[in-house]
Structure 1
Amino acid sequence: MTLRRHFSAIVAVLIAPAFASAASYDTANFTTEAPTAKLAQEFGEMAEFYRKEKALEWTGREMPQWPRRCPLQVQITQGSAGGATTFTFGQEGGKPVVTSLRMEIRGDAKQLLHSVLPHEVTHTVFAHYFGRPVPRWADEGGSVLSENEDECFSHDVRCRELLNAGRGIRLRVLFRMTEYPRDMLVLYAQGYSVSHYLVRKGGDGREGRGKLLQFLGLGMQGNSAESWNAAASKVYGFDTIDALEESWLTALKNPPARVVARGTNPAGGLASSGGAPRTELRTSAAPTMPLLDPPVRAVRGTAPDREPTRPTHLPPADPTTFGSSPVVRPAAPELPPPALLLPPELPRPVNR
């Protein structure tokens, strides 16, 4: 079975032509192609760094060396950034395993190095840990945890906006999804929010990530309401997924402050005041309705079990059709709007 992650709709159309690469660089697990030899070496070495780091963060041990190098194609462009990773799953010695993989990323070099590449590498950690596709909400949500602070913060804000607009998906439905929902933005934002909550609930850090992996492994056994309820009870102490959902929503009503170092702005640059404390605002105003067009800067997702002949699921393209044949999917039960969720607090400077 092949699993494919696609770029945003615009990038997915542009990716059809082959990547124009001028240099190649081999490491133990990657063959990296990029426009220059320097970039090929930098991205290849960073891919190896993230491969080790993310495996240790999630599983406590490094992945063994892959039997074949993963082709990693890097294209530097302006505008949207995104990645696509293709996995082939099979059996070895009666165990499910990844038999091949291929990775492609494109966008601004800084965004690729610090968000897109670690995101895509995290997908490989999940795939090799389970040897099979991971539930879509967790695969994306867990991988977003590897992105930089600004990306995670924007996903947090977006999730609250979508929930306030009544566009959330009940967790008892989200956890069991094997096809994409009509509202793809919800999958990304809500998947991140729930993954982040469960990691924190499990103790944060390596312990929290390990419990999330345990939760996924138990829930995936049968992928039924009973298996997910049992997983919620065993790992997190909730009687049902509905109880877990209520706790997650309650936690969202009390957003944490986002803290940045004195003398820096939220994007990580130096403050314009030459290092003097910035005056930051904290707001309790209700979030406005989200402006969702054009698509967010970096949108990445897993694909259906059967890979279509062209991207079918990413906004703003119509996710209900591909080719000339309509694909009819039942609408996922929506999550009723909770009491108004405030956005996370704006950054406040702290001394180091």
Structure 2
Amino acid sequence: MTLRRLPLYALVVALASAGRASAASYQTANFSTTAPTDALARQFGDMAEHYRKEKALQWLGQEMPNWSRRCPLEVKITAGGAGGATTFTFGGDGGRGVVTSQHMEIHGPARQLLDSVLPHEITHTVLAHHFGRPVPRWADEGGSVLSENDEERYNHDVRCRELLNAGRGIRLSVLFRMAEYPRDMIVLYAQGYSVSAYLVDRGGSGVGGRQRLLQFLAIGMQGGDTRNHGTPDSWNQAARQVYGVNGLDALEQQWLDALKNPPARVAARGDRAPGTPTARQPEAVAVRSSAPPVVPLLEPPVRAARGTAPEREPAAAPRVNPERPVPVLLPPEFPRN
């Protein structure tokens, strides 16, 4: 028998086509799920519906109506790090902002995807459909980390303290208005989670605390543009109206004061559905440490899709004691043109 050699590009195309052909699909009311096997497609599709209901109840106090079009959900089971990204397009409907399309991709070990990445990405959809417009990055990512498992949330808590101790924090007056990710993306995820968790607890925890955070965001986002969410005045008004403090600086100081207490293991994410995997074993959190600069730096923003936090940073260094008192944040230094 004689074998015919295929050109390299033809072989790549053939392999890619075979991969697509072998993927299984499964449709539910709101998701069109593709995964490596029928069992995985069904499992992830059903859990996506479960989390959609759960997160809507946790944030809105009620279920969302079915979407007019199913959200594509692509599941890739891989070894190593896990992650995901959800993209949205927004439009108008009778003067009200709406999500016109959305697409979700997740990749990593199945257990970690089901336990942390999928609920994180589903929370993005709840927030996007509630506001009908892009949500401030810190709250979109911070609120979504609230949906992750106990270990991930604890790691974000500790990581935020480490980053602040290293002088890499961002003033809330800048963080709250950012429409794009900073280059130091891990700061936005960790600090966004810390601030979101603090505000939810301050608002009474549970559904009530989350709804007060939504109210805070709705007021703070007013008057912004494509480059900024809201104005300094709108965020100061939101702090006074929702949390009863004299502006954003006072709210920031109270958040920093709360962080001077040692980090505690936060409670599990609430009632779990039967068969939902338990939290994975803790992983080491590698964080760079250096002498604090004179002021925290805010680098030029970069565009990125909404998704889960980076697994690791480029370099590891001795960790800063998370129980060390948090320094006072100074005004950020903006890049010079």
Indicate if the aligned counterparts of 1:115 and 1:148 stay in contact, CA closer than 8 A. yes
Which structure's CA Rg is the greater one? 2
Size of the aligned set, in residue pairs, is: 270
Deviations 1:185-223 (A, max 9, x none): 100000000000000000000000000000000000010
1:340 maps to: 324
1:252 maps to: 259
Equivalent position amino acid for 1:246 in 2: Q
Mapped to 1, the partners of 2:287 and 2:87 lie a distance apart of: 31
Deviations 1:122-174 (A, max 9, x none): 00000000000000000000000000000000000100000000100000110
Deviations 1:71-118 (A, max 9, x none): 100000001101111111001122100011111100000000010000
Verify: 1:190 aligned to 2:162, yes or no: no
Equivalent position amino acid for 1:224 in 2: T
Query: Kindly tell me: are residues 260 and 55 of structure 1, through their superposed partners in 2, closer, same or farther at Cα, counting changes over 3 Å?
Result: closer
C-alpha displacement at 1:256, in angstroms?
4.9
Mapped to 2, the partners of 1:221 and 1:259 lie a distance apart of: 32
TM-score (norm 2): 0.74
Mapped to 2, the partners of 1:35 and 1:306 lie a distance apart of: 30
Indicate if the aligned counterparts of 1:165 and 1:289 stay in contact, CA closer than 8 A. no
Indicate if the aligned counterparts of 1:161 and 1:290 stay in contact, CA closer than 8 A. yes
Mapped to 2, the partners of 1:187 and 1:200 lie a distance apart of: 19
Between the aligned residues of both structures, percent identity stands at 67
* SS of match in other structure, 1:340: coil
Deviations 1:225-282 (A, max 9, x none): 0000000000001111110000000001113532789xxxx9667xxxxxxxxxxxxx
1:290 maps to: 287
Mapped to 1, the partners of 2:138 and 2:24 lie a distance apart of: 35
* SS of match in other structure, 1:258: coil
Q: Which has the higher strand share?
A: 1
1:235 maps to: 242
Query: Kindly tell me: are residues 256 and 80 of structure 1, through their superposed partners in 2, closer, same or farther at Cα, counting changes over 3 Å?
Result: closer
Mapped to 2, the partners of 1:196 and 1:68 lie a distance apart of: 32
* SS of match in other structure, 2:265: strand
* SS of match in other structure, 1:168: coil
TM-score (norm 1): 0.71
Mapped to 2, the partners of 1:289 and 1:22 lie a distance apart of: 35
* SS of match in other structure, 2:104: strand
Indicate if the aligned counterparts of 1:161 and 1:289 stay in contact, CA closer than 8 A. no
Mapped to 2, the partners of 1:128 and 1:61 lie a distance apart of: 13
Gaps of 5+ in 1: 1-16, 270-287, 293-303, 318-337, 343-352
